A and B are shown apart, each in its own frame.
Chain A
């Protein structure tokens, strides 16, 4: 595994490096990149190492009335220990907490998890449920906002252009009338750490003071070429009282979630298993 490495220290150095380098990959936490390059070495590759870039908008978190804005380099560990995320965006907390291991969470970044664009990305799945937006910055320093569903376009494919870098991620605020949040992340695998999701389910359901569902975000991972937002399942929930959803409605909801799945059979699980489990865990979040 051989590559050149450049270490920009500021945003302008970073944008300069993107302009200058011809054949490059970004390295954030490098938890996926190094594995990939070990398997498939690329000739004359330059890794633009993002970990020395000192810019609070790239590394930090900011809270506003609109919601939370993460720098792309915000780590899984920082998400896990953030109280605001734990209380108000629990799905993201759980997704980050279920990621790999304590050691890897220290370096793995939100941006890296998104840009790897794996169908089984854990934090990415949570962000889809939260209907986040990606801030892509081009080499002239101009940003465009792309809804996360349009950002993740295929297996290991994103909407990122060659002259762009994922600079931040914006998560919309919960509704003002929300008084209760039913939010979580279910990861299916065989061991508790160092596991790649066989199936995952993110849910972020907002309830008003009467327990009526006023907003819902449901996303599924490892069940299709990209993480899918289960729109019809979300719509199905709106207006229903969470505590009184009938068994038949739970099953209809699970069917709706399942309609977004087109899983494959691989050595980790069969398509049959992925569907069966997805149906069961979808039901379980309403139980």
Chain B
């Protein structure tokens, strides 16, 4: 099945690696336009308050200030997935991020000075920072833009899903385990802070945006809706993006604010977040409480899962509220399970709101599920590796939710990490002394061929070859650092026999590139790769025809290699650039150009959330060994064994990058990262106290790709981007529990939580304490 390939599968460095490493890449922060002004935003002083008045008169008088805007000055629509988020706030503040006013000035310093001159009178309210408080009947309605769709006034969104006969499965369960897990706020902490440069042309009324969005076409539409403009009058150009991880899926208020400042002044305006602003005002991974009850029969087969999730929605609704789409897939379909009942609710509070974040709810779900699987195994007295293997999904399976696994490498992934980590030997290693070692297992299931959540999950490509034999790929997909443009260039090089240095990828301009839904759901190489292959096929038909005519052979089958088109039958060849020149410059004078729109085979889910939502599915398992210092509570992650069903390795170097980066992000989620809040305010808006891990914390990573060659993927490949982080926290938690014989139900498992649990056990001499009793 594996065809001999020359470029695909080779460790080719990222195509922009040199310009990034040498500081030559042009990020949003590097953009300077003639006459450009600098924008700055005044945020509320209080997370919950009545705004009695806003006085901008002094700020307007300051020399160098061109414009000050408040909600009074603009005619706009609300933004957000539920349109419940005003761009500028008036009347009341509901969140520490709330934008009260904005300024455009000659310099950043003047803009900051102007903010200090704006006088806002607040009447401070007691906010609601706890979801249970928000659900009380006596609680005031936090978001006034959402009307009566749900019974409780502070409910932002509800999801319900079920399959199978729950009661029947409960009855035949030998053991049932219930646990409630609490998941923290984690922030993306992209290396490039949020940025935008907006330039409105007063003459033709067109808006140009240099923006770091992950979803330029959806963004164009959202921006047009917000500003009451025609989408096509907005041109979105993406500069080099310094980190996305899902944070740039939603359009955030600072972006239309920047556009409004440009519209008001007729000059380009740039807004750059400071690092502190980035921590305060950019999105987070949605915090939630997951209550999971699950059963197992006497033979060790999983019977049912019942899930209740309450998510802190914050004051406004972002894409983060829709994470149950993905969360329910993990619960309904990771390992075989006969019956599932799933309820999730997002609740408004005066806390900061979430966004999408790599894994899209799946790390939370997988943590709860994989912890409970360990407990079920313990109850039943069955080995933790064995119970997973026994229940693992198999090729050809269609799950209760309707996900169809045409290929499935889960068993192979599990077997791989169990064997390579020496799991069976290490699970019962001696636990005496100060340093205790433990090992944990976890797997994951994630979409691997896009996710049909918008009307189209497709991607367009325009492909051309110029008379010098260079190829340009104009793709709808975009690059946020994940390396997809390198993969696209490799595909073109493989298929057209053109060297990589002669291939250009154009992917940053909505005025130029064809439609694509955006970078999310680990979809880009899969969807854009297939789209490119479609365009290549069409272009080759044109080139073959011309080559055949020029070679006067009548051959119809050609190979492309070394910039030549070679007849398979006669081995006669002709230079590719010569064929293109002949196409262009001799009759009937046609371009060496092709376009193609690829739509994955996936289907929309029905109203009960059933259906095959992705073109294919990715699976992975991790076995992680830790060492816990019982004197300090520190957990050292020693070795991470990862096996991931990637379909086929397109570029091992880039794949390693995704695996390593994802795992370190997962270690942070497990052990250190949490955005701490008190009464709506963020306590650690800096790297000093937000404990994102660094290069020196990276554990030994032993990665084995599992290739299942899915016929839907380009060369058999599946999406890989999100998967590496999804099971990491779960496997680490299982390893810590194995090391200490204690339970941990909350993330992150900080040194203090570990030491407290050890100390409580020592004092109570009780071997089973869970961290909620701390």
Contact = CB atoms under 8 A, between A and B. Distances in A.
A121 B693 CA distance: 21
A270 B632 contact: no
A215 to B, nearest CB: 26
Given A276-B755, A280-B631, A280-B632, A191 B688 contact: no
Interface string A196-214: 1000000000000000000
A194 B690 CA distance: 11
Contacts of A287: 434
Contact of B697 (A188, A192, A281, A283): A192
Contacts of A276: 755, 759
Contacts of A272: 756
Given A196-B688, A267-B683, A276-B755, A191 B693 contact: yes
Interface residue SS majority, chain A: loop
Chain A residues touching B, range: 20 to 34
Interface string B668-679: 000110001000
A287 B694 CA distance: 31
Interface in A243-287: 267-270, 272-273, 276-277, 280-281, 283-284, 287
Nearest to A283: B631
Contacts of A281: 631-632
A192 B631 contact: no
Contacts of B671: 190
B686 to A, nearest CB: 9
Nearest to B672: A190
A101 B693 CA distance: 12
B696 A193 contact: yes
B689 interface: yes
Nearest to B759: A276
Interface residue SS majority, chain B: loop
Interface in B179-225: none
Interface string A174-201: 0000000000000010111110100000
B468 interface: no
A193 B631 contact: no
Interface in A98-151: 101
Contacts of A284: 434, 631
Contacts, number: 56
B755 A273 contact: yes
B684 A188 contact: no
B633 interface: yes
A277 B755 contact: yes
A27 to B, nearest CB: 20
B632 A277 contact: yes
A227 to B, nearest CB: 19
Contacts of B632: 188, 277, 280-281
A269 B754 CA distance: 13
Contact of A194 (B109, B694, B751, B752): B694
Contact of B631 (A194, A196, A277): A277
Given A190-B672, A190-B750, A280-B632, A268 B755 contact: no
Contact of A191 (B633, B672, B752, B755): B672
A2 B688 CA distance: 23
Interface string A231-246: 0000000000000000
Contacts of B697: 191-193
Given A191-B697, A273-B752, A277-B632, A268 B759 contact: no
B691 interface: yes
A277 B684 contact: no
Contacts of A267: 676, 683-684, 689
Contact of A192 (B434, B683, B696): B696
Contacts of B634: 188, 190
A46 B510 CA distance: 49
A2 B107 CA distance: 14
Nearest to B434: A284
A280 B628 CA distance: 14
A270 B753 CA distance: 11
A283 B684 CA distance: 32
B559 to A, nearest CB: 50
What are the 5 closest A-B residue pairs judged by CB atoms, nearest first? A280-B631, A192-B696, A193-B696, A273-B752, A193-B694
10 contacts: A2-B109, A190-B672, A190-B751, A191-B694, A191-B696, A273-B633, A277-B755, A281-B631, A283-B631, A284-B631
